[in-house]
Amino acid sequence: MKTSRVGRVVQILTTLQARKDYTADDLSQMFRRSRRTIFRDLKELQSIGVPYRYDAKTKGYRIDPEFFLPPINLTVREALSLLLLVHKVRNQVQLPYKNAALLAALKIENHLPLKMRRYCDTVLRGISTKAGAQVVTTLLDCTFSQLQQAMCQKRKVSMRYNSLFEGETIETELCPYHLLYNQRAWYVLGLSSAHGAARTFKLNRIEELSVRKQRFCDGEQFDVYEYLGRAWSMIPEGRIYNVKLHFLARVASNVMEVRWHSTQKATRHEDGSATLEFRVDGLGEIIWWVLGYGDQVQVLAPRELRERVVAAAKNIIKLNRGL
């Protein structure tokens, strides 16, 4: 095989090990090669003994997760990206198993060629990262490990949880389906006995957690993105709103630089201002984002959101007047 093809075949191998079925069309789009080329690459995998399988139902390919991919020589970019993640981002984001990640990075560095190691060291000295505010979870490694174990073994967990929504500490039995990092914090999503439905729980608010012997059999079809739907961030409320906001010129460019929501539509006006539209499930989360822009945004729709913003602004004035 040519060098470029070897690299692509290795990439296909690692992609198929991700525990997800990929169709030939998926791989063709991902690697920007024709379907015929992808089939040749798959045949090459078969010839070197890689145990991939085809699922007629999903029309996708997958490699047995038990298959072990032997180590390969890292390119400069591959080594640099891994070291950048561990050395520069490790202390900026609440990542579980930070010490293990650092040890892994040191092992990688130790096996790099001397010239590459020196190059990476020089580059990393000139790079810094600054993440936003992070939720501090004191027992993150322990909590994450327990939930991860429960998810893999499909075991229920008992939990005491400080719920801001209920305004008290609740007890529930949870079937943990998914761990998600979003908006500066870690969450576990699963079926809660106290609510009789799937719910989201913030890891730092878990006061007690224990893995039970009792197993659960559902959760295989749980799709975190389907569950979140069109929620602004984490909490769908079961009602879709057409939100229309007008941002003044002072902040318009800044707002339009970011893709805030999958349904976002933006229009720039001659005076420099901009109108953004969203179809959002619930208003409870987006209202705080709108308030963050203060007097630089107007709520054009819906009326309910505008009234809630006005009420919040009046409370702000009330709380701060005369201090």
Say which residue, 156 or 101, is predicted with more confidence. Answer: 156
CB 96 within 8 A of CB 149: no
Both tokens assigned to 36: 């015929």
Helix, strand, or coil here: 19? coil
Q: What is the Cα–Cα distance from 295 to 313, expressed in whole angstroms?
A: 10
What is the third-level CATH fold of 140-225? SH3 type barrels. (2.30.30)
Residue with tokens 């992070």: 134
Residue 72 pLDDT more than 90? no
Residue 137: pLDDT above 70? yes
Question: Would you state the pLDDT for residue 3?
Answer: 40
Distance (Å, whole) CA 10 – CA 220: 29
Q: Which residues contact 54 (CB under 8 A, 6 or more apart)?
A: 60, 61
End-to-end CA distance of the chain: 75
Assess whether pLDDT exceeds 50 at residue 2: no
Q: How far is CA 81 from CA 64, 67, 96, 101, 161, in A?
A: 27, 25, 19, 13, 37
Under 8 Å between Cβ of 281 and 230: yes
Global pTM? Answer: 0.70
Confidence of residue 5 (pLDDT cuts 50, 70, 90): low
Query: Residues 64, 53: contact at Cβ < 8 Å?
Result: yes
| Residue 165 in this model has a pLDDT that exceeds 70 | yes
Q: What is the pLDDT of residues 90-124, one digit of tens each?
A: 777 777 888 788 788 888 887 888 888 889 888 98
CATH architecture for the domain at 3-63: Orthogonal Bundle (1.10)
Structural contact between residues 51 and 63, judged by C-beta atoms closer than 8 angstroms? yes
CA distance 87 to 126: 12
Checking if the pLDDT of 207 tops 60, the result is yes
d(CA 309, CA 319): 15
pLDDT tens by residue, 80-89: 888 888 888 7
Tokens of 301: 């729709």
